[in-house]
Amino acid sequence: MDWAKFCKHLRRTRRDTGGNVSLIAAFSAIPLVLAVTGVIEITDMSNARGRLQEAADAGALAGAGQLAIATIGAAQVSQTAVTVAEQSIGTSGQGSRTTPPAFTATVDTHASSVTVTGVAEHKPLIGFMDFGNQALTATATAENVQRVPLCILQTDDSGGIKVQDTARIRATGCAIHANADINVASGALIQAEAAQAVGAVSGPIEPAGHSGALPIDDPFAAMDLKSKTLCNLLEGHLLPIQLGSGTMSLPPGLHCLPITVIGNGTLFLQPGDHYFFGPLIMTDNSTLRGDDVSLVFGVGNVFNFARNANVRLSARKSGPMAGFLIATSRDNFGTFSIASGNVSQLLGTIYIPNANLVVDTPGNVAQNSAWSVIVAKTLTLKQNPVLTINTNYTGSGVPVPEGVGPMKAAPRLSH
């Protein structure tokens, strides 16, 4: 309503001595005009509040969705929630009399929930009229209600996950994520509960994989993987170990020079943390055994499980390395090789964030592990191996490190 014209009309009718009837009629219309204006105002505010609520809902669901596969940093989840809320309100529009809303998001990692709050200012239709509180507020909380374990995380933004020839990854109870691409050859296959990549996804994947995922940060980036002591190669009594037969029991601690086991030799790793400052090579019909162990490889040093080497290992059950089976220092950019079809148990987490893992064998790998997790710069499978990732997390005695394994997923609005 144009109030300037209305007031001008009142002044004109007041000067007109014959305009009493018009004046009375004009003043009589004011309550009706105010009533209609009030209805319009309340309707506009309700619509604006509804759009604000829809945007908050969308942001909360998007943020909680990032908790679907892995523990992503709270700052990243919050940013996603705010961005989606802002995009949602931009699509629907808030009207010319509502200021652009400001959104904030908070993440409760223990409850696996994300709360988004939106605040906007609604200007009244008539400046001097006050139809109550003009500040509009909407809050939405989304949480996860089911668990989808993360079992393979490719960390680098290049290289990705490659499944070549007729190789297979069988991870039917968990999720696979690549910060680069997932490339599966036409004769190969990935079977997983979920498979997603920041980059492209190609080849046979059951069910179908998804591209365009948000990156997942290294969940263990804060871990200290350095040995507390250093090797002293000047002492003169340290020699490389080469075992061709019999059994050697190796205590935990520093292993400063190469260890090679050939023939029918057996290397038994005693429980504890083993730091390798030389390569570990298992070949021929050799055997590697270890329970409640972690194998940490320093810069430039890797393992090579070749030919018919028989490997059965399970990770630490307690202490700082609990749940970790194989790890590297962060300056290790090497390539770890599984080229034996007798690597039947790798129970625990393989954490080589800046190194590569290549499985190049005609046999099965890790099929007897209660559970396995791989976090690597790149993962490549060649020939026709079947890499089995089991998810029997309870009862193994080996805890799953926080950040992988069972996580809450499938976000829903809780209020």
Query: Taking the chain (415 residues) in consecutive chunks of 10 residues, what is each chunk's mean pLDDT?
Result: 54 54 54 53 73 88 68 74 86 62 85 86 61 74 71 93 97 93 97 91 94 85 84 64 93 93 97 95 97 96 96 97 96 96 96 97 93 97 95 92 71 64
* pLDDT of the residue at 142: 82
* pLDDT of the residue at 166: 97
* pLDDT of the residue at 70: 47
Distance separating alpha carbons of residues 398 and 400, to the nearest angstrom: 7
CB-based contact 106:78 (threshold 8 Å): yes
CB atoms within 10 A of CB 270: 14
Distance separating alpha carbons of residues 329 and 355, to the nearest angstrom: 10
CB-based contact 293:315 (threshold 8 Å): yes
Residue carrying the six token digits 């109870």: 173
Residue 124's SS3 state is: coil
Token pair, residue 255, equals 């292993």
* pLDDT of the residue at 383: 92
* pLDDT of the residue at 367: 94
* pLDDT of the residue at 203: 97
CB-based contact 134:121 (threshold 8 Å): yes
* pLDDT of the residue at 394: 87
Angle at 265 between CA 260 and CA 269, to 5 degrees: 70
